[in-house]
Every structure is written in structure tokens, then in C-alpha cells.
A and B are shown apart, each in its own frame.
Chain A
Amino acid sequence: MRETAVRAVGLALALTYAAFIGWLFVSRPQNVSQITGGLAASIGAYQVDARHFEDGLRFFRNEQFVEARAAFGRADPAQRDARTQFYIAYSFYRQGWGRAFHDDALYEQGLAAVDRAIALAPGGRLVIDDDPNLLMHSADELRAELDAGREFQASDLNPLRLFTRRK
């Protein structure tokens, strides 16, 4: 009886440990907060820090994009919240946007963030419709804008581009 119990407990422990390692291999967290946040999210216990998120929004609306990303990063250290990742991506877009040219490096980071947001959103659909400050409300629009901004196209030579408006 005791042997059966030891074997059963050992099997359960080994499978749990192996599942944890498998999850690490798939999600590839880059720090301890991402590990703990990911584990908390897997059981539905992960929450964004509301105070830091509000700070981030305030900075974002004041065009202080670096500060906004720092605050959003503190609000969502495990990068598990779609809404926060969307704002991070949007901050990269607005900071990298230029009338004559776009900053490819910032757009690249924005694309990575919006991809994270889409992956985290239920069914891949993310719409932020409660923020009038935004001119793009869906992650798909933002992604298309960031993706198009990275590529050099014939339309980039159009002088009318100087009159386009940042979204």
C-alpha cells in the first residue's frame, strides 16, 4: 500500500514538474516576474496593478512615451494583459511616428507588443473603445499601421505624406 502511494505521488510530481518545464520552453519567460505572472495567469489569478496602469495612461496622454512604457511595464510585469500591451504598442507607434519618416526600431518593438496583445486577447480580437484619445481602437488597425510603417513603399515618396496625421 505504501509503495503504491509513493509511486502514485512520484508520478504526479514528475508529471507536474515536466509540465512546468514544458510551459517554460513554450513561453520562454525572460525574468522571474514573467514566470510568476504566467503561472498566476494560468490559474486566473493574475491582475494588473491599477495604480501603475493609471500612471501609464496619464504619461501616454501627455506624450511622455518612455515614462508611459515604464509605468505600463510595472503595471504588467509578466506581460500577460492584452490591454496594457496594446497601450505599450501604441506608445511605440506614437513615439516612432514622423511626418517624413518613421523610426523602424520603435515600430519593430511596437509590433512585438501588439502581437503579444493579440495573442493574449480572447479569440485574438482586441478593441479598446472606451478611450477617446486613441484614433485606432483595435489591435488589428494598430498592427497594420506599425507593419506598413516599417516598409519602404512608393507611397513614402509622395510629398502629400507630409500632411498626413498621426493616429
Chain B
Amino acid sequence: MTPLREAVTLPALFLTVTLLGAIRIGAPIAIEPPTQFSLVLAMLLLGVLVQSGTLVGARLMHGARTPLANLNGLVLLLCAFAASAQTLSLITPDEGLPAVVVGFVLLAMLVQMLAVSLDRQRLLRGLMVMLGVAFVLKFIVLAALSSPASGRVSRALQVLFDNVTLGVVTQPPLAPANGYLAFATLMLYLFGLSRLPHADWRMVRVGHDRLPPAPGRAQLSDQVARRRG
């Protein structure tokens, strides 16, 4: 990774994600910092990124690097953390039952990603799907259910829906521009993740017949003894 990308481009990109993810367009404009729960989710997400090789911490902070380079690495890590927290906060519905359910599902998915140990390529694909589904739910489905009804029939259906669900599903109305801004933010965030310093390994699928024979216990002991000796 070039110094320009590490010190300028990626921190600026992740900070832009943090800024755009906090803006709620409306009258008046609101600035929403990440929620406390999204900070916890972001810590998990950073863990998943490191485990999958999407982010190699040793390429950002290491004893062999200069103090200034290490400081750049630290800043990049913090910016990636802030952007992750803001993105997760952005795709979580604002209130009610959907906020609880989406928060729990995000937590479950991140823990699952940690458990299954994905590689970089699969993790990025998985994250794209996870963020995309949450985006559709919040900015298309829930926004449609919560937007002010235009006609009498749709208003009646909305009132009926509110009564059936006891009003726990409906969200505060969102200006349409918020959806476009959120989409751009998510794309920017995923692009930033794909540009992080990553590991060279990846998982491959190989049939049993193509695998080299597994070493026996005696062979393994010999290899260990040779390394130690």
C-alpha cells in the first residue's frame, strides 16, 4: 500500500463515510452520531475483517515501521472503526421493533461470520449482501410503510396496518434524499474496505482426490523435531 493511500486517501474516505452516514436530510437537517450498540457491532466487524485477512493490522502498525507510519496506521484503523460504526448505525431503523430486530440480526450475522472464518473475497460479498438487505428494509420497505399516505385508500390501509401492529413498526418519515445518500455512503464504505491492506491468502475448494496425502502423526513429529533441532 502506498503512503498516499494509507495516510491520505483511505482516512479521508472513511471519514467521509462517517460524515455522510451521520447526516439526516430533512427540515431541519439532523446530525446523528453512531449509537452505542453500533460501536459494539463495529468492534465485532473489525474482528471479522482482521480474521478474514481483509485488514492486516501488521501492515499498518509494526515495530519495523517508523513512528509516523505507525501513527498513520493507527489513524486509518480508527477511521475504519468510526466508518463501520456509522454505517451500521445508518442501516439500523431508528426506533420500534424493527430497530431491535435488525440490531439483533446484525449481531447474529457478525458473530456467525466470526465463527465460520471466511476469507476476504467471501466476507466482502457477505457484507455487501448484509448491508444491502438492511438498506432495502430501512430505506425502501419501512420508508414506504411510514411515508405519509397520498390517497384515501392508502391512508386507510396505513391506519389499519398501524392498528394491527400497535404502531411498533412504523418509523419517523424519511425524506427520499436520505435513501440516495445512504446508498452512496454504503458503496463508499464497501469500496474503502476493499482497498484496505489485505492478506495474500485465500480459501480454495479442492476435491479430496486432488489433495496431497495428509502427513501421518509420525511424519508430523519428525517435522516438528526437525524445526526445533
Contact = CB atoms under 8 A, between A and B. Distances in A.
Interface in B165-181: none
Interface string A11-46: 101110110010011001111000000000000000
Contact of A14 (B15, B28, B66): B15
Chain A interface size, under 10 / 10 to 19 / 20 to 34 / 35 or more: 20 to 34
Contacts of B69: 7
Contacts of A29: 29, 31
A7 B75 contact: no
Interface string B197-208: 000000000000
A17 B31 CA distance: 16
Interface stretch (B6-14, B49-57, B143-151): B6-14
A158 interface: no
B8 A9 contact: yes
A31 B28 contact: yes
A10 interface: yes
Contact of B68 (A4, A13, A18, A21): A4
Q: Is the interface of B mostly helix, strand, loop or mixed?
A: helix
A24 B31 CA distance: 7
A64 B125 CA distance: 61
Contacts of A25: 22, 31, 33
Chain B interface size, under 10 / 10 to 19 / 20 to 34 / 35 or more: 20 to 34
B8 A21 contact: no
A11 B15 contact: no
Contacts of A21: 15, 18-19, 22, 82
A159 B19 CA distance: 55
Given A7-B68, A11-B68, A11-B71, A28 B4 contact: no
A26 B103 CA distance: 24
Given A21-B22, A25-B22, A25-B31, A3 B3 contact: yes
Contacts of B4: 6, 10
B29 A30 contact: yes
Interface in B69-88: 69, 71-72, 75, 78-79, 82
Interface of B: 3-4, 6-8, 11-12, 15, 18-19, 22, 28-31, 33, 66, 68-69, 71-72, 75, 78-79, 82
